[in-house]
């Protein structure tokens, strides 16, 4: 239920422009927080080659649990257990909700030089 | 000024400007109110990312990227080219991905910035007006080594610290070196671009020598008192798979280079080699210097870490390796990419009169120790209002337990994703 609801919000914001600045700014804050994950997991969580895995459209609760388990050291990883510790629980929840609301799509690949 | 008229027509025809932005200050022939313009100087990891994200998050803003090259060559993974473990082709990409997002790319060099008029003058004479300017210039080298002032000397003693022609040239020197020769790498005092980079380079050259010239040696002359990044992990490689190949000498300050005699002159010693690779100390690149953006030690640009805005010049944001690093923040591609995103968000918010949220950013760097094995260092930086800067979160981040092929796979995944996130 979460993901389609969030899409609706986004759509309304686009239509309404600046009519709801509070919502818009919360949305932007979530986007900006999640953007730190894009470097490795792809823009909006759509990963090139799925390594590291894509996060777009994943179940929100599953992502929250996974991130909290990484943070608590309950789930082993090469790097995520160290990174999840850098965020508050609230930030991890915001990040999870952001990715859950993204549409899975093929990652864009940079063009070859000279093309 | 032709550029601005073209923009005007383009924006009219595209029906842009309906977002009712606050009217921009009218200067010169700036396009009409409604099409605020962000100019980005430098299409590296910082600038390309900033340009992409301003356009992606605010399609109504006109985004112009000024870049002197028609191609992007990645510094990360360029050490693998030296070892023949990857190719230049693999790490070279174009800017069409940004064009297809609506970023206009001008292949030229920024010559001067007039912050009062909010204008950038390009080498070929065009003038670009801007509402906000993002400068992501990378680094240039300090002129501290007399023996490297002649072009001939600089052709012989390479830095290969900006990926490109020098990467290819250093690879050729290593290939031409006879078995039993000595490769000498000199590392400047930190801060420099890519803290683990020199030590990764040592591993890559060792990997190549082990395979192709097993009697050859590597001499590492480090100005720093110890390996700057992941010291334990690098030493494990040097005392493990590459045992006996690497002579590491800390506190080795370079006085001069004799390129003809292939000799490095240190404070108390002189060292000869068959391939000399000197990474000179660096500073924020020339355009930052010309624009008065350098604030600290004549080298780096200090900024407001909530917006990326220069503390020296209003309306100009500085990103990437040129910045005066926040505490424990490395000069890395990963950081530059993250600077690009938080700065894009702040620039949009400032143009639209919205509140700016302080950023949380994360660094992730992988070092390849062989063709297939890698190890990482990572840190998370949250804004501390008391210190007015980004600070690393205590107890978070860290390094690999050891290098592994699994992390080698992730390192390639990191590369493909950061390239996509920056350029496509």
Q: What one-character-per-residue DSSP string does B338-354 give?
A: HHHHHHHHHHHHHHHTP
**Shortest distance, CA A29 to any CA of chain B (angstroms):** 7
Phi, psi torsion values for B282, nearest 5 degrees: -130, 175
Residue by residue, DSSP assigns B275-326 as EEEE---EEE-HHHHHTT---BTTTBB-B-TTT-BBSSSTTEEE-GGGB-PP
User: What average pLDDT does the segment A19-28 reach?
Assistant: 74
β-partners of residue B365 are B377
Residue with more model confidence, B185 or A26: B185
For an interface test with A, the pick among B53, B345, B410, B413 (most A C-beta atoms closer than 10 Å) comes out as B413
pLDDT band at A22 (very low <50, low <70, confident <90, very high): confident
**Per-residue pLDDT, A20:** 54
Query: End-to-end distance of chain A based on CA atoms, in angstroms?
Result: 43
Domain annotation covers residue A55: yes
User: What average pLDDT does the segment A85-113 reach?
Assistant: 97
Cβ distance of A29 and B357 shorter than 8 Å: yes
β-pairing, B139-141 vs B389-392, is unpaired
Quick one: closest CA in A to B375, which residue?
A: A78
**Shortest distance, CA A1 to any CA of chain B (angstroms):** 25
Domain annotation covers residue A49: yes
Alpha-carbon distance of B411 to A14, in angstroms, equals 37
Q: How many CA atoms lie less than 13 Å away from B273 in the CB half-sphere?
A: 28
Task: Find the DSSP H helices in B213-266.
Answer: 231-238
Cβ distance of B376 and A25 shorter than 8 Å: no
Task: Say if residue B132 is preceded by a cis peptide, omega within 30 of 0.
Answer: no
Which residues are within 8 A (CB) of B375 and not within 5 positions of it... i.e. 6 or more apart? B230, B233, B366, B367, B369, B399, B400, B402, B403, B404, B407
Strands, sheet with B270-272, edge to edge from the N-terminal-most edge strand? B254-258, B263-266, B270-272
Residue with tokens 């990419």: B337
For an interface test with B, the pick among A25, A42, A79, A114 (most B C-beta atoms closer than 10 Å) comes out as A79
Domain annotation covers residue A27: yes
Exposure class string for A38-70: b at 16+ Cβ within 10 A, else e: bbbbbbbbbbbbebbebbbbbebeebbebbbbb
Nearest Cα to Cα of residue B46 among B361, B381, B329, B335 = B335
Which residues are within 8 A (CB) of B296 and not within 5 positions of it... i.e. 6 or more apart? B302, B324
Q: How far is CA B279 from the centre of its chain?
A: 14
* pTM, rounded to two decimals: 0.91
Alpha-carbon distance of B99 to B423, in angstroms, equals 9
Query: CATH number, domain at A90?
Result: 1.10.760.10
- The DSSP output letter for B149 is -
Cβ distance of B380 and A86 shorter than 8 Å: yes
Q: Are A13 and A77 in contact (CB under 8 A)?
A: no
Nearest Cα to Cα of residue B414 among B347, B353, B363, B344 = B363
**Per-residue pLDDT, B98:** 98
Q: What would the pLDDT profile of B271-315 be if each residue is shown by its tens digit?
A: 999 999 999 999 999 999 999 999 999 999 999 999 999 999 999
β-partners of residue B383 are B390
Alpha-carbon distance of B205 to B207, in angstroms, equals 5
Which residue segments constitute the domains of chain B, with CATH numbers given?
2-140+283-355 (3.50.50.60), 143-280 (3.50.50.60)
Query: Which tokens go with B143?
Result: 């002129």
Domain annotation covers residue A69: yes
Q: Are B336 and B46 in contact (CB under 8 A)?
A: yes
- pLDDT above 70: percentage of residues in chain A: 80
Residue with tokens 């000179």: B280
Domain annotation covers residue A113: no
- Nearest CB among B71, B378, B400 relative to A83 is that of B378
Alpha-carbon distance of B373 to B405, in angstroms, equals 4
Domain annotation covers residue A42: yes
Alpha-carbon distance of A72 to A68, in angstroms, equals 6
Domain annotation covers residue A108: no
Count of domains in chain A? 1
Indicate the SS3 state at residue B390.
strand
Phi, psi torsion values for B288, nearest 5 degrees: -65, -40
Alpha-carbon distance of B175 to B39, in angstroms, equals 42
Q: Are B360 and A38 in contact (CB under 8 A)?
A: no
Domain that holds residue A30: 2-100
Residues of chain B contacting A98 with CB distance shorter than 8 Å:
none
Q: Are A114 and B97 in contact (CB under 8 A)?
A: no
State which H helix or E strand residue B257 sits in.
strand B254-258
Query: Which tokens go with B129?
Result: 């007006």
**Per-residue pLDDT, A25:** 80
Cβ distance of A29 and B418 shorter than 8 Å: no
Query: Which tokens go with B224?
Result: 């720093």
Domain annotation covers residue A62: yes
Task: Find the DSSP H helices in B59-116.
Answer: 78-82, 96-99
**Per-residue pLDDT, B360:** 98
Cβ distance of A48 and B413 shorter than 8 Å: yes
Which residues are within 8 A (CB) of B76 and not within 5 positions of it... i.e. 6 or more apart? B91, B194, B333, B365, B366, B415, B418
Q: How far is CA B85 from CA A54, B216, B227, in A?
A: 27, 18, 24
Nearest Cα to Cα of residue B133 among B8, B359, B298, B312 = B312
Nearest Cα to Cα of residue B369 among B212, B208, B161 = B208
Nearest Cα to Cα of residue B225 among B196, B247, B253, B201 = B253
Given a cut of 70, the residues of chain B with pLDDT beneath it are 1-34
β-partners of residue B141 are B282
Phi, psi torsion values for B39, nearest 5 degrees: -105, 135
Q: Are B378 and B329 in contact (CB under 8 A)?
A: no
Q: Does B306 reach chain A within 8 Å, measured CB to CB?
A: no
């Amino acid at each position: 239920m979460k993901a389609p609801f969030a899409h609706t919000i986004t759509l309304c914001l686009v239509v309404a422009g600046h009519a709801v600045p509070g919502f818009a700014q919360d949305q932007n804050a979530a986007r900006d927080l999640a953007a730190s994950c894009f470097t490795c997991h792809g823009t909006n969580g759509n990963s090139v080659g799925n390594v590291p895995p894509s996060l777009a459209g994943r179940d929100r609760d599953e992502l929250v649990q996974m991130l909290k388990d990484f943070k608590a050291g309950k789930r082993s990883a090469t790097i995520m257990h160290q990174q999840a510790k850098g965020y508050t629980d609230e930030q991890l929840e915001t990040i999870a909700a952001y990715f859950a609301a993204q549409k899975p799509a093929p990652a864009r690949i940079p063009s070859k030089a000279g093309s | 000024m032709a550029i601005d008229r073209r923009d005007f027509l383009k924006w009219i025809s595209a029906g842009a400007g309906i977002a009712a932005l606050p009217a921009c200050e009218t200067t010169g022939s700036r396009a009409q109110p409604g099409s605020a313009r962000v100019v980005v100087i430098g299409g590296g990891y910082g600038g390309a990312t900033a340009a992409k994200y301003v356009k992606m998050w605010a399609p109504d803003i006109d985004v112009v990227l000024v870049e002197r090259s028609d191609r992007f060559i990645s510094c990360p993974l360029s050490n693998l080219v030296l070892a023949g473990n990857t190719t230049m082709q693999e790490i070279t990409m174009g800017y069409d991905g940004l064009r297809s997002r609506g970023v206009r790319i001008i292949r030229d060099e920024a010559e001067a910035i007039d912050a009062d008029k909010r204008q950038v003058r390009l080498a070929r004479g065009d003038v670009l007006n801007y509402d906000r300017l993002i400068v992501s210039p990378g680094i240039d080298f300090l002129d501290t080594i007399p023996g490297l002032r002649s072009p001939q000397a600089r052709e012989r003693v390479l830095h290969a610290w900006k990926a490109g022609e020098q990467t290819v040239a250093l690879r050729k020197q290593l290939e031409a070196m006879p078995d039993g020769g000595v490769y000498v790498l000199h590392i400047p005092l930190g801060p420099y671009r890519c803290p683990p980079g020199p030590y990764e380079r040592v591993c890559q050259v060792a990997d190549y020598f082990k395979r192709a010239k097993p009697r050859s040696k590597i001499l590492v002359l480090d100005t720093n008192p110890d390996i700057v990044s992941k010291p334990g992990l690098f030493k494990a490689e040097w005392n493990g798979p590459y045992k006996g190949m690497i002579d590491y000498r800390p506190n080795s300050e370079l006085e001069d280079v004799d390129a003809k005699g292939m000799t490095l002159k240190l404070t108390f010693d002189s060292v000869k080699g068959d391939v000399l690779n000197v990474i000179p100390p660096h500073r924020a690149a020339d355009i930052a210097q010309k624009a008065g953006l350098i604030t600290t030690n004549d080298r780096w640009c200090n900024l407001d870490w909530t917006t990326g805005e220069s503390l020296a010049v209003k309306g100009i944001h500085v990103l990437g390796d040129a910045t005066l690093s926040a505490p424990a923040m490395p000069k890395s591609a990963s950081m530059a990419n993250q600077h690009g995103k938080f700065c894009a968000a702040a620039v949009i918010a400032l143009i639209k009169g919205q509140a700016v949220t302080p950023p949380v950013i994360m660094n992730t760097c992988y070092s390849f120790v062989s063709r297939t094995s890698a190890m990482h260092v990572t840190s998370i930086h949250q804004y501390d209002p008391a210190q007015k800067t980004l600070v690393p979160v205590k107890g978070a981040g860290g390094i690999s337990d050891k290098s592994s092929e699994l992390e080698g796979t992730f390192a390639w995944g990191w590369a493909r994703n950061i390239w996509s996130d920056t350029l496509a």
